[in-house]
Structure 1
Amino acid sequence: MITLLAWLLTALALLMLVPVLVLFTEVLLACLAARPLPVPRGPRPRLAVLVPAHNEATVLGATLASIQEQLGEGDQLLVVADNCSDDTAALARAAGAQVTERQHAELRGKGYALDHGVRHLAASPPQVVVIIDADCKLTAGSLDHLAHLCVATARPVQALDLMRAPAGAGLKIQVAEFAWRMKNLVRPRGMARAGLPCQLMGTGMAFRWEELATANLATGHLAEDLKLGLEFCRQGKPPLFCPEAEVTSLFPLNPEGLSNQRTRWEHGHLGVLVSDGPKLLGSALARRQLPLLAMALDLLVPPLALLTLALSALFVVAWLAGLWLGVWGAAVLASIGMALLVAAVLLAWGRFSREVIPFSVLIYAPLYAAKKIPLYLGFLIRRQVQWVRSKRDDQ
């Protein structure tokens, strides 16, 4: 019985060590000097910026302004007012954007809005389509970088997507900002440093028209961006990370909005991890396709809070088994995993977050992770499968 327990704990520890090693390697690579992307040259490809919007009247104006100042002659700006009950469509028209409205009682979610927008653009297709969420702002020059690289590489291109804690935000949101920087800045930077692709992030994405027009967008999946990026990689067009282009937005202070947002993201990510992760890993190994293998391994890294909770639980159980039963293999592996996780977090904070997030926030992080236990239990008991918009602070 003790031997069986030892084997089970050791196997579990080895399994847990895989995502920790992937995360640590990504962070370590990210700390190396970045490889500069080629400087865009020549006339910019004709592009369309597609903005899916569901009741976004309070934030859409700033987003459109940041886009319009980067548009050139022949470019298009299209807002899809999807199942809106506010003034989103009217505000977008007043700002000078093209607007198409969509209403459907059952088929709800960002994927359906994107599909509707792409079909609308088919009447006058651009060379490149850039997707920007309605609550994001573009930094100067971002459209140039995205469009040039997309055409030059014939691959989807992902901008750096950062969410920031608003002024006066509490520790919970500051920890969330650090976790977001780990996921969307540090890890894709590490992948790019090794010449590997990144996951798509939902906003700040550029696609050549011919690929996007034939993509399967009309889904209500919570993580349509992850699914889309994996599908492009299967087709031999792995997404490219472009940190020179940047989109930014703010975490909602509204507790309900923050909870909805977190549940949608993490249940969506875990759903793809469970349903696609093992199959994708097997397919990548069978095909001997390095970019697909890299994306599969990256996908297997769960949200940072969940990884911390799972590894901590394993660490405690493994050491108890060692002290009571003399079974030490799993305890050693769990200790290595914990040391690598702590090192990855400290390296990422010191290199990429020191100036925006105080060290005291990291001390609060374990408590933050513990407070998310109901969210992860909810994934097992009552998984969210339908898209729910995050409530804004002024709503």
Structure 2
Amino acid sequence: LAIAWMTAFVAKYLDGDPFNPEPLVFSVPGWTILTVDEAPRIDLFILAGVGLVIVSLGAVTLEGLASIRVLYPLRNRLPFALPPSAAGTEPMVVVVLPAHNEAETLPATLAGLAAQTRPPDRIVVAVDNCQDHTEAVARGLGAEVYVTVGNADRKAGALNQVLTRILPTLRRHDLVLVADADTVLNPHFLEGGVAEMTADPGIDAVGGLFYGDGGAGLLGQFQRNEYERYQLQIKQRRGRVFVLTGTASLFRAETLADVAEARGTLLPGRHGDIYDAAAITEDNELTLALKTLGCRMTSPSGCTVATEIMPSWRALWTQRKRWQRGALENLGSYGFTTATARYWGQQFGLAYGVIALTAAYVLLFIAALAADQWYWMPFWIAITMIYAIERTFTVARGGPAAMLVAAPLILEIAYTFFLQMVFISVLIDIARRRTARWGHIQRQGVVDES
């Protein structure tokens, strides 16, 4: 390569006419590579700039529409469902852990709760249709246990059963943490979340910022990089959340009671339910419910949780299909409103990204096959380098392994194509009215019949 570069340099600049606009020509075995130093036409820059302005204005408009719900909340129409909290008293914190075959992961979750700098007042494990020893593990570690009865509505049904029994015992400003039984909280999660909601009584919910556990090789690193960038995005939005993650979110008791009261009238679902049993992504649906009612939500930087990553491509495919299918179905249930406008914009943006990225790489591939010479364009090389630097340093907190996976670009581009194939598959399933699959990670020694 060094010899090829020196040969090209001499041929262009030491041939007696250094100002001739001839391209640099690199000759390597089997290839002739030309460097074209022409930049794109100015009208393309103008078109790109106009497009950027239009997209930015659209994003600002959608954010503004969402803010209208907070200024004029629908929840003001609802009566108070819980008695008021006494002035100057600390809120009670109740943790609810829905658990389906989680005997293997539950001990780490409960240990994380025991290590909280602000310990919870109650921990309730909702044992749901388990074929393992989840109930015995929960009791042995000192948690309260509620065993669901006749639940056919999966996680949402389990949460509805236990929350309808817990909420009447609470006051308005008491707090309920709903977390997965395979999640380990940062030791300061509850302290930070309680402080945030105590300092600002207008905040109705605090969502956790999740990052992935270790392991699972390259696939695991893809997911960890994805979660790192999501955390950075939320921080840049000053804590404004897209979705209150089901891994761990803290709610005011009155907020959950308002959702139950609004179901069947202001919100989709069955009256009295907190989670919509028809939704396959209950956390996404509850986020839309809270935004529809005009609730305020945030994700403080200190409220982080470690959650389980998908160990195989098949498991990841199933998980992401459920997430994407649930998001689209939830938007269909709520329709286009000021609360959902931004989410509709995200889905249209994702659809455009699938078309644009696929078309771009198909055209590049066709051009490469059609050309008898390889053309290097310094302008686009510089743009690519800037993009590579951005992708690398946005995962810097993940360590050297995260940066090494991000730097070559091609690895994460392949992962992006995988996620886009998930989106296309979901659209096909919806068009063909196929039933969505939930999907669970298979634990050792457990036969999951759900």
What TM-score comes out, normalization by structure 1 length? Answer: 0.71
2:283 corresponds to: 225
2:224 corresponds to: 177
1:310 corresponds to: 355
1:101 CA drift (Å): 0.9
Amino acid at match of 1:188: I
Match of 1:213 among 249, 257, 260: 257
1:71 CA drift (Å): 7.7
Match of 2:113 among 57, 67, 78: 67
1:366 corresponds to: 413
Where relative contact order (Cα < 8 A, 6+ residues apart) is larger, the structure is 1
Q: Quick check: 1:109–1:220 contact (8 Å CA) kept in 2?
A: no
Question: How many matched pairs?
Answer: 332
1:182 CA drift (Å): 2.5
Give CA-to-partner distance per residue, 1:322-347, whole Å, 9 cap, x none.
xxxxxxxxxxxxxx9xx999967753
1:253 CA drift (Å): 1.8
Amino acid at match of 1:351: T
Counterparts of 2:410 and 2:361 in 1: how far apart (Å)? Answer: 19
Give CA-to-partner distance per residue, 1:214-267, whole Å, 9 cap, x none.
323142412221221122122221311112111112313245433332322232
Structure 1 pair 277–178 and aligned structure 2 pair: CA distance change class (3 A): farther
SS in 2 for 1:156: strand
SS in 2 for 1:189: helix
Amino acid at match of 1:76: R
- Structure 2 residue 388 is the aligned partner of structure 1 residue 388: no
Match of 1:191 among 217, 237, 246: 237
1:250-269 → structure 2 map (5 Å cutoff): 250-269=308-327
Q: Quick check: 1:254–1:393 contact (8 Å CA) kept in 2?
A: no
- Structure 2 residue 160 is the aligned partner of structure 1 residue 115: yes
SS in 1 for 2:299: strand
Match of 1:46 among 82, 92, 112: 92
Q: Quick check: 2:221–2:405 contact (8 Å CA) kept in 1?
A: no
Give CA-to-partner distance per residue, 1:196-229, whole Å, 9 cap, x none.
4442111221111011123231424122212211
Q: Quick check: 1:157–1:241 contact (8 Å CA) kept in 2?
A: yes
1:67 CA drift (Å): 0.8
Give CA-to-partner distance per residue, 1:79-122, whole Å, 9 cap, x none.
111122221112111111111111436x3222212211211213
Gaps of at least 5 residues in structure 1 are 1-9, 27-41, 285-291, 321-335
Counterparts of 1:131 and 1:98 in 2: how far apart (Å)? Answer: 14
Counterparts of 2:190 and 2:176 in 1: how far apart (Å)? Answer: 10
Match of 1:279 among 328, 336, 342: 336
Give CA-to-partner distance per residue, 1:183-208, whole Å, 9 cap, x none.
3x122222227xx4442111221111
Give CA-to-partner distance per residue, 1:124-168, whole Å, 9 cap, x none.
2260001111100011121111123234333211121112341xx
Counterparts of 2:322 and 2:131 in 1: how far apart (Å)? Answer: 21
1:130-209 → structure 2 map (5 Å cutoff): 130-151=177-198, 152=200, 153-166=202-215, 169-183=216-230, 185-192=231-238, 196-209=240-253
SS in 2 for 1:84: coil
Counterparts of 1:308 and 1:178 in 2: how far apart (Å)? Answer: 20
Greater alpha carbon shift after TM alignment, 217-226 vs 249-258: 249-258
Counterparts of 2:119 and 2:224 in 1: how far apart (Å)? Answer: 37
Match of 1:58 among 104, 108, 118: 104
Structure 1 pair 372–70 and aligned structure 2 pair: CA distance change class (3 A): closer
Counterparts of 2:439 and 2:357 in 1: how far apart (Å)? Answer: 32
2:33 corresponds to: none
- Structure 2 residue 142 is the aligned partner of structure 1 residue 96: yes
Structure 1 pair 144–18 and aligned structure 2 pair: CA distance change class (3 A): same
Match of 1:247 among 305, 314, 318: 305
Give CA-to-partner distance per residue, 1:286-342, whole Å, 9 cap, x none.
xxxxxx76666556654xxx775432134368999xxxxxxxxxxxxxxx9xx9999
1:72 CA drift (Å): 6.1
Counterparts of 1:342 and 1:226 in 2: how far apart (Å)? Answer: 36
Counterparts of 1:56 and 1:160 in 2: how far apart (Å)? Answer: 22
